[in-house]
Amino acid sequence: MSSSTVALSPVTTGIVRPAPSAPLKRPYLHHVDLIRTTTFALVIFMHVLTSTTAEFSSMGTNATALLLHSTRNIFFALTGFVLMYQYLDRPDFRTTSFWRRRMKLVILPYLVWSFLYWVVTVMWMGGRLADIPTSLNELGDRIMWGTAAYHLYFLLVMLQVYLLFPLLRKLILATRGHHGLVLAVSVGLQVTVLSLISYWAPPAALQELWNHLYATVIPYQLLIVLGALAADHRDRVGRALRGHGELIGWLFLGTGMLAIGAYVHRVLFSGAPINDPGSPFELTLLPFILVAVVSVYAMALHWSTYHLESTPIMAKVVSYASNRSFAVFLVHVMVLTALLYPKTADGQKWIVAAIPQPFGTLTVYLVTVAVSLAAVEVFRRLPGSLYLTGRPRLPLRPMI
Protein backbone atom coordinates (compact mmCIF):
# COMPACT_ATOMS: atom_id res chain seq x y z
CA MET A 1 0.00 0.00 0.00
CA SER A 2 1.40 3.41 -0.94
CA SER A 3 1.79 6.25 1.54
CA SER A 4 -0.91 8.26 -0.27
CA THR A 5 -3.64 5.72 0.52
CA VAL A 6 -6.21 6.98 3.03
CA ALA A 7 -8.55 5.09 5.33
CA LEU A 8 -11.81 6.10 7.00
CA SER A 9 -11.59 6.96 10.65
CA PRO A 10 -13.31 4.41 12.87
CA VAL A 11 -15.53 7.17 14.23
CA THR A 12 -18.41 8.48 12.12
CA THR A 13 -17.17 12.02 11.69
CA GLY A 14 -16.24 11.55 8.03
CA ILE A 15 -12.63 12.53 8.74
CA VAL A 16 -10.04 10.61 6.79
CA ARG A 17 -6.47 10.04 7.93
CA PRO A 18 -3.43 8.66 6.13
CA ALA A 19 -3.00 4.96 6.72
CA PRO A 20 0.42 4.06 8.14
CA SER A 21 2.74 2.85 5.43
CA ALA A 22 4.81 -0.25 5.91
CA PRO A 23 8.60 0.08 5.65
CA LEU A 24 9.85 -0.48 2.13
CA LYS A 25 10.87 -4.10 1.66
CA ARG A 26 14.17 -4.57 -0.10
CA PRO A 27 14.41 -7.02 -3.03
CA TYR A 28 15.17 -10.60 -2.06
CA LEU A 29 18.75 -11.56 -2.89
CA HIS A 30 18.69 -15.11 -4.20
CA HIS A 31 22.46 -15.25 -4.58
CA VAL A 32 22.78 -14.92 -0.80
CA ASP A 33 20.96 -18.24 -0.45
CA LEU A 34 23.42 -19.95 -2.78
CA ILE A 35 26.42 -18.47 -0.95
CA ARG A 36 25.05 -19.61 2.40
CA THR A 37 24.26 -23.11 1.12
CA THR A 38 27.63 -23.52 -0.58
CA THR A 39 29.54 -22.27 2.43
CA PHE A 40 27.87 -24.52 4.97
CA ALA A 41 28.15 -27.54 2.65
CA LEU A 42 31.90 -26.97 2.43
CA VAL A 43 32.20 -26.48 6.20
CA ILE A 44 30.58 -29.85 6.80
CA PHE A 45 32.79 -31.46 4.16
CA MET A 46 35.91 -30.11 5.87
CA HIS A 47 34.80 -31.56 9.21
CA VAL A 48 34.08 -34.93 7.59
CA LEU A 49 37.38 -34.91 5.71
CA THR A 50 39.51 -34.25 8.77
CA SER A 51 37.52 -36.80 10.80
CA THR A 52 37.80 -39.64 8.28
CA THR A 53 41.41 -39.25 7.11
CA ALA A 54 44.84 -38.99 8.70
CA GLU A 55 44.32 -35.50 10.10
CA PHE A 56 47.56 -35.39 12.08
CA SER A 57 49.92 -36.87 9.49
CA SER A 58 48.54 -36.29 5.98
CA MET A 59 49.80 -33.25 4.12
CA GLY A 60 47.05 -33.73 1.55
CA THR A 61 44.32 -33.59 4.18
CA ASN A 62 45.79 -30.57 5.90
CA ALA A 63 46.47 -28.72 2.66
CA THR A 64 42.85 -29.21 1.62
CA ALA A 65 41.60 -28.21 5.06
CA LEU A 66 43.79 -25.12 4.92
CA LEU A 67 41.97 -23.84 1.84
CA LEU A 68 38.59 -24.85 3.28
CA HIS A 69 39.26 -22.64 6.30
CA SER A 70 38.24 -19.83 3.96
CA THR A 71 34.63 -20.92 4.47
CA ARG A 72 34.40 -19.36 7.92
CA ASN A 73 35.64 -16.09 6.45
CA ILE A 74 33.17 -16.29 3.57
CA PHE A 75 30.35 -16.60 6.03
CA PHE A 76 31.54 -13.67 8.15
CA ALA A 77 31.73 -11.56 4.98
CA LEU A 78 28.22 -12.74 4.11
CA THR A 79 27.01 -11.80 7.59
CA GLY A 80 28.37 -8.27 7.23
CA PHE A 81 26.77 -8.02 3.79
CA VAL A 82 23.33 -9.27 4.84
CA LEU A 83 23.12 -7.18 8.00
CA MET A 84 24.17 -4.03 6.22
CA TYR A 85 21.82 -4.69 3.31
CA GLN A 86 18.90 -5.11 5.67
CA TYR A 87 19.56 -2.29 8.13
CA LEU A 88 21.90 0.33 6.67
CA ASP A 89 19.30 2.77 5.32
CA ARG A 90 16.45 1.96 7.69
CA PRO A 91 15.38 5.16 9.45
CA ASP A 92 13.62 3.13 12.15
CA PHE A 93 16.77 1.22 13.17
CA ARG A 94 17.12 0.91 16.93
CA THR A 95 20.09 -0.76 18.58
CA THR A 96 18.13 -2.35 21.41
CA SER A 97 15.47 -3.68 19.04
CA PHE A 98 18.16 -5.13 16.78
CA TRP A 99 19.87 -6.84 19.69
CA ARG A 100 16.62 -8.29 21.03
CA ARG A 101 15.63 -9.67 17.66
CA ARG A 102 18.96 -10.95 16.40
CA MET A 103 20.92 -12.09 19.41
CA LYS A 104 18.27 -14.43 20.78
CA LEU A 105 18.38 -16.36 17.48
CA VAL A 106 22.01 -17.24 18.22
CA ILE A 107 22.51 -17.11 21.98
CA LEU A 108 19.68 -19.51 22.82
CA PRO A 109 20.82 -22.27 20.38
CA TYR A 110 24.41 -21.62 21.46
CA LEU A 111 23.64 -22.29 25.12
CA VAL A 112 21.40 -25.28 24.40
CA TRP A 113 23.83 -26.97 22.02
CA SER A 114 26.85 -26.20 24.20
CA PHE A 115 25.14 -28.09 27.00
CA LEU A 116 24.09 -30.98 24.74
CA TYR A 117 27.55 -31.39 23.18
CA TRP A 118 29.22 -31.20 26.57
CA VAL A 119 26.94 -33.85 28.05
CA VAL A 120 27.11 -36.23 25.08
CA THR A 121 30.57 -35.87 23.54
CA VAL A 122 32.60 -34.82 26.58
CA MET A 123 30.95 -36.35 29.61
CA TRP A 124 29.09 -39.42 28.31
CA MET A 125 31.57 -40.49 25.63
CA GLY A 126 34.38 -39.70 28.03
CA GLY A 127 32.90 -41.95 30.71
CA ARG A 128 32.27 -39.04 33.07
CA LEU A 129 28.49 -38.91 33.11
CA ALA A 130 28.32 -39.19 36.90
CA ASP A 131 30.60 -36.13 37.23
CA ILE A 132 28.16 -33.71 35.59
CA PRO A 133 26.76 -32.15 38.80
CA THR A 134 30.26 -31.31 40.05
CA SER A 135 31.68 -30.21 36.70
CA LEU A 136 29.45 -27.26 35.79
CA ASN A 137 32.41 -24.90 36.12
CA GLU A 138 33.99 -26.81 33.23
CA LEU A 139 30.83 -26.27 31.19
CA GLY A 140 30.96 -22.57 32.01
CA ASP A 141 34.54 -22.36 30.77
CA ARG A 142 33.62 -24.13 27.54
CA ILE A 143 30.70 -21.78 26.99
CA MET A 144 32.98 -18.81 27.59
CA TRP A 145 35.35 -19.86 24.80
CA GLY A 146 33.02 -21.80 22.49
CA THR A 147 34.75 -25.14 23.07
CA ALA A 148 31.86 -27.42 24.03
CA ALA A 149 32.29 -28.67 20.45
CA TYR A 150 34.89 -27.69 17.91
CA HIS A 151 32.46 -25.72 15.71
CA LEU A 152 30.57 -23.73 18.35
CA TYR A 153 33.15 -20.93 18.52
CA PHE A 154 31.48 -19.77 15.31
CA LEU A 155 28.30 -18.85 17.20
CA LEU A 156 30.33 -17.02 19.81
CA VAL A 157 31.87 -14.86 17.07
CA MET A 158 28.41 -14.29 15.56
CA LEU A 159 27.19 -12.92 18.89
CA GLN A 160 30.10 -10.48 18.90
CA VAL A 161 29.26 -9.42 15.34
CA TYR A 162 25.66 -8.69 16.36
CA LEU A 163 26.84 -6.83 19.45
CA LEU A 164 29.16 -4.59 17.41
CA PHE A 165 26.96 -4.18 14.34
CA PRO A 166 25.29 -0.90 15.43
CA LEU A 167 28.75 0.68 15.69
CA LEU A 168 29.77 -0.70 12.29
CA ARG A 169 26.56 0.66 10.78
CA LYS A 170 27.31 4.12 12.16
CA LEU A 171 30.84 3.90 10.77
CA ILE A 172 29.65 2.97 7.28
CA LEU A 173 27.08 5.78 7.28
CA ALA A 174 29.50 8.39 8.67
CA THR A 175 32.28 7.58 6.19
CA ARG A 176 30.31 7.49 2.94
CA GLY A 177 32.56 8.96 0.32
CA HIS A 178 35.62 7.65 2.17
CA HIS A 179 35.00 3.92 2.16
CA GLY A 180 38.28 3.28 0.38
CA LEU A 181 40.08 4.62 3.45
CA VAL A 182 37.95 2.47 5.74
CA LEU A 183 38.87 -0.61 3.73
CA ALA A 184 42.57 0.33 3.72
CA VAL A 185 42.60 0.73 7.52
CA SER A 186 40.82 -2.59 7.91
CA VAL A 187 43.35 -4.33 5.65
CA GLY A 188 46.22 -2.82 7.64
CA LEU A 189 44.67 -3.97 10.90
CA GLN A 190 44.12 -7.46 9.48
CA VAL A 191 47.72 -7.81 8.33
CA THR A 192 48.92 -6.61 11.73
CA VAL A 193 46.72 -9.06 13.63
CA LEU A 194 47.68 -12.03 11.47
CA SER A 195 51.37 -11.15 11.75
CA LEU A 196 51.09 -11.00 15.53
CA ILE A 197 49.28 -14.36 15.63
CA SER A 198 52.03 -15.94 13.52
CA TYR A 199 55.15 -14.34 14.96
CA TRP A 200 54.48 -12.76 18.38
CA ALA A 201 54.68 -14.62 21.67
CA PRO A 202 52.26 -12.90 24.07
CA PRO A 203 53.01 -12.41 27.78
CA ALA A 204 51.56 -14.90 30.23
CA ALA A 205 48.73 -12.53 31.18
CA LEU A 206 47.40 -12.64 27.59
CA GLN A 207 48.10 -16.29 26.88
CA GLU A 208 44.59 -17.62 27.47
CA LEU A 209 42.97 -14.93 25.32
CA TRP A 210 45.60 -15.42 22.64
CA ASN A 211 45.00 -19.16 22.55
CA HIS A 212 41.29 -18.50 21.97
CA LEU A 213 41.63 -15.59 19.56
CA TYR A 214 39.84 -17.67 16.92
CA ALA A 215 36.69 -17.32 19.07
CA THR A 216 36.77 -13.52 18.92
CA VAL A 217 35.79 -11.14 16.17
CA ILE A 218 39.34 -9.76 15.93
CA PRO A 219 40.82 -12.09 13.24
CA TYR A 220 37.70 -11.74 11.07
CA GLN A 221 37.10 -7.98 11.15
CA LEU A 222 38.32 -7.41 7.58
CA LEU A 223 35.81 -9.89 6.16
CA ILE A 224 32.93 -8.33 8.10
CA VAL A 225 33.92 -4.83 6.99
CA LEU A 226 34.38 -6.05 3.41
CA GLY A 227 30.89 -7.55 3.39
CA ALA A 228 29.38 -4.41 4.89
CA LEU A 229 31.02 -2.18 2.30
CA ALA A 230 29.98 -4.51 -0.52
CA ALA A 231 26.36 -4.20 0.61
CA ASP A 232 26.49 -0.41 0.41
CA HIS A 233 28.08 -0.62 -3.07
CA ARG A 234 26.43 -3.83 -4.30
CA ASP A 235 25.43 -2.44 -7.73
CA ARG A 236 28.94 -1.17 -8.33
CA VAL A 237 30.41 -4.46 -7.13
CA GLY A 238 28.12 -6.40 -9.46
CA ARG A 239 29.19 -4.31 -12.45
CA ALA A 240 32.88 -4.71 -11.52
CA LEU A 241 32.59 -8.50 -11.38
CA ARG A 242 30.59 -8.92 -14.57
CA GLY A 243 32.64 -10.35 -17.42
CA HIS A 244 35.72 -11.10 -15.28
CA GLY A 245 35.12 -14.76 -14.52
CA GLU A 246 38.34 -15.90 -16.17
CA LEU A 247 40.44 -13.39 -14.23
CA ILE A 248 38.78 -14.39 -10.97
CA GLY A 249 39.45 -18.04 -11.79
CA TRP A 250 43.15 -17.42 -12.37
CA LEU A 251 43.40 -15.39 -9.15
CA PHE A 252 41.67 -18.20 -7.28
CA LEU A 253 44.15 -20.73 -8.64
CA GLY A 254 47.19 -18.49 -8.09
CA THR A 255 46.39 -17.49 -4.51
CA GLY A 256 45.52 -21.10 -3.69
CA MET A 257 48.91 -22.24 -4.97
CA LEU A 258 50.58 -19.51 -2.90
CA ALA A 259 48.83 -20.70 0.26
CA ILE A 260 49.65 -24.37 -0.41
CA GLY A 261 53.24 -23.57 -1.36
CA ALA A 262 53.77 -21.63 1.86
CA TYR A 263 52.22 -24.49 3.84
CA VAL A 264 54.49 -27.08 2.22
CA HIS A 265 57.50 -24.84 2.91
CA ARG A 266 56.56 -24.59 6.59
CA VAL A 267 56.28 -28.36 6.86
CA LEU A 268 59.38 -29.33 4.90
CA PHE A 269 61.83 -26.57 5.71
CA SER A 270 60.74 -24.79 8.87
CA GLY A 271 59.98 -27.78 11.04
CA ALA A 272 56.39 -26.67 11.54
CA PRO A 273 53.96 -29.39 12.56
CA ILE A 274 51.69 -30.68 9.83
CA ASN A 275 48.60 -30.03 11.94
CA ASP A 276 49.20 -26.39 12.89
CA PRO A 277 46.32 -24.75 14.84
CA GLY A 278 47.47 -21.34 13.66
CA SER A 279 47.37 -22.20 9.96
CA PRO A 280 43.92 -20.62 9.33
CA PHE A 281 45.49 -17.27 10.26
CA GLU A 282 48.65 -17.51 8.19
CA LEU A 283 49.32 -14.26 6.34
CA THR A 284 49.98 -16.22 3.14
CA LEU A 285 46.41 -17.55 3.27
CA LEU A 286 44.82 -14.09 3.34
CA PRO A 287 44.99 -13.45 -0.45
CA PHE A 288 43.22 -16.75 -1.10
CA ILE A 289 40.56 -15.97 1.50
CA LEU A 290 39.79 -12.63 -0.13
CA VAL A 291 39.70 -14.12 -3.63
CA ALA A 292 37.53 -17.01 -2.37
CA VAL A 293 35.02 -14.49 -0.98
CA VAL A 294 34.91 -12.69 -4.32
CA SER A 295 34.73 -15.96 -6.28
CA VAL A 296 31.79 -17.39 -4.37
CA TYR A 297 29.95 -14.08 -4.54
CA ALA A 298 30.58 -13.75 -8.28
CA MET A 299 29.47 -17.35 -8.90
CA ALA A 300 26.26 -16.93 -6.93
CA LEU A 301 25.50 -13.53 -8.47
CA HIS A 302 25.99 -14.93 -11.98
CA TRP A 303 23.58 -17.78 -11.24
CA SER A 304 20.88 -15.55 -9.74
CA THR A 305 21.19 -13.02 -12.58
CA TYR A 306 21.30 -15.33 -15.59
CA HIS A 307 20.11 -18.79 -14.56
CA LEU A 308 17.67 -18.44 -11.67
CA GLU A 309 14.50 -18.65 -13.78
CA SER A 310 15.85 -21.44 -15.99
CA THR A 311 16.78 -23.65 -13.01
CA PRO A 312 13.62 -23.72 -10.85
CA ILE A 313 14.48 -27.06 -9.20
CA MET A 314 17.91 -25.83 -8.19
CA ALA A 315 16.35 -22.60 -6.91
CA LYS A 316 13.97 -24.57 -4.66
CA VAL A 317 16.77 -26.77 -3.37
CA VAL A 318 18.98 -23.77 -2.65
CA SER A 319 16.15 -21.94 -0.86
CA TYR A 320 15.33 -25.01 1.23
CA ALA A 321 18.98 -25.64 2.13
CA SER A 322 19.65 -22.00 2.96
CA ASN A 323 16.66 -21.87 5.30
CA ARG A 324 17.97 -24.89 7.23
CA SER A 325 21.70 -24.33 6.93
CA PHE A 326 22.22 -22.80 10.38
CA ALA A 327 20.33 -25.62 12.10
CA VAL A 328 22.20 -28.26 10.09
CA PHE A 329 25.46 -26.59 11.11
CA LEU A 330 24.45 -26.92 14.76
CA VAL A 331 23.46 -30.58 14.44
CA HIS A 332 26.00 -32.07 12.04
CA VAL A 333 28.91 -32.52 14.46
CA MET A 334 26.68 -34.56 16.78
CA VAL A 335 25.66 -36.75 13.83
CA LEU A 336 29.25 -37.08 12.61
CA THR A 337 30.49 -37.96 16.08
CA ALA A 338 27.81 -40.64 16.45
CA LEU A 339 28.65 -42.12 13.04
CA LEU A 340 32.33 -42.41 13.87
CA TYR A 341 31.98 -43.42 17.53
CA PRO A 342 31.84 -47.23 17.05
CA LYS A 343 35.34 -48.65 16.77
CA THR A 344 36.80 -51.85 15.38
CA ALA A 345 38.74 -54.31 17.53
CA ASP A 346 41.99 -52.51 16.73
CA GLY A 347 40.55 -49.07 17.56
CA GLN A 348 39.82 -47.75 14.08
CA LYS A 349 36.65 -45.86 13.23
CA TRP A 350 34.43 -48.63 11.93
CA ILE A 351 32.93 -46.89 8.91
CA VAL A 352 36.34 -45.69 7.74
CA ALA A 353 37.77 -49.17 8.14
CA ALA A 354 34.83 -50.76 6.30
CA ILE A 355 34.70 -48.49 3.24
CA PRO A 356 37.84 -47.78 1.18
CA GLN A 357 38.82 -44.19 0.51
CA PRO A 358 37.77 -41.85 -0.98
CA PHE A 359 34.36 -43.54 -0.79
CA GLY A 360 34.50 -43.68 3.00
CA THR A 361 34.73 -39.90 3.29
CA LEU A 362 32.06 -39.38 0.62
CA THR A 363 29.70 -41.87 2.31
CA VAL A 364 30.13 -40.28 5.74
CA TYR A 365 29.55 -36.84 4.23
CA LEU A 366 26.32 -37.81 2.49
CA VAL A 367 24.98 -39.67 5.53
CA THR A 368 25.91 -36.79 7.84
CA VAL A 369 24.09 -34.26 5.67
CA ALA A 370 21.02 -36.51 5.21
CA VAL A 371 20.65 -37.39 8.89
CA SER A 372 21.27 -33.80 9.95
CA LEU A 373 18.56 -32.56 7.59
CA ALA A 374 16.14 -35.19 8.89
CA ALA A 375 16.88 -34.20 12.48
CA VAL A 376 16.38 -30.54 11.65
CA GLU A 377 13.00 -31.29 10.09
CA VAL A 378 11.96 -32.84 13.39
CA PHE A 379 13.44 -30.05 15.53
CA ARG A 380 11.76 -27.35 13.43
CA ARG A 381 8.37 -28.82 14.36
CA LEU A 382 8.97 -29.13 18.09
CA PRO A 383 7.72 -26.52 20.58
CA GLY A 384 11.32 -25.50 21.37
CA SER A 385 12.35 -24.97 17.75
CA LEU A 386 13.70 -21.48 18.40
CA TYR A 387 16.03 -22.80 21.09
CA LEU A 388 17.25 -25.74 19.00
CA THR A 389 17.49 -24.24 15.53
CA GLY A 390 17.35 -20.44 15.85
CA ARG A 391 14.22 -20.54 13.68
CA PRO A 392 10.52 -20.36 14.57
CA ARG A 393 8.50 -23.55 14.75
CA LEU A 394 7.07 -24.94 11.53
CA PRO A 395 3.50 -26.25 11.50
CA LEU A 396 2.99 -29.99 11.59
CA ARG A 397 2.04 -31.36 8.21
CA PRO A 398 -1.39 -32.99 8.09
CA MET A 399 -1.42 -36.77 7.89
CA ILE A 400 -2.76 -38.18 4.62
- Mean per-residue pLDDT over the chain, rounded: 90
- Give the C-alpha separation, 194 to 200, whole Å: 10
Percentage of the chain surpassing pLDDT 90?
A: 76
Give the pLDDT band (50/70/90) at residue 277: low
Task: Name the burial class of residue 268, with classes exposed (0-12), middle (13-18) and buried (19+) by CB atoms within 10 angstroms of its CB.
Answer: exposed
β-sheet bridge partners, residue 18: 6
Mean pLDDT calculated for residue range 30-52? 95
Mean pLDDT calculated for residue range 260-289? 84
What is the reported pLDDT for 3? 41
Q: Taking 90 as the threshold, does the pLDDT of residue 348 lie above it?
A: no
Q: Taking 80 as the threshold, does the pLDDT of residue 16 lie above it?
A: no
Peptide bond into 358 cis (omega under 30): yes
Q: How many CA atoms lie within 13 A of 199 on its CB side?
A: 7
Give the pLDDT band (50/70/90) at residue 400: very low
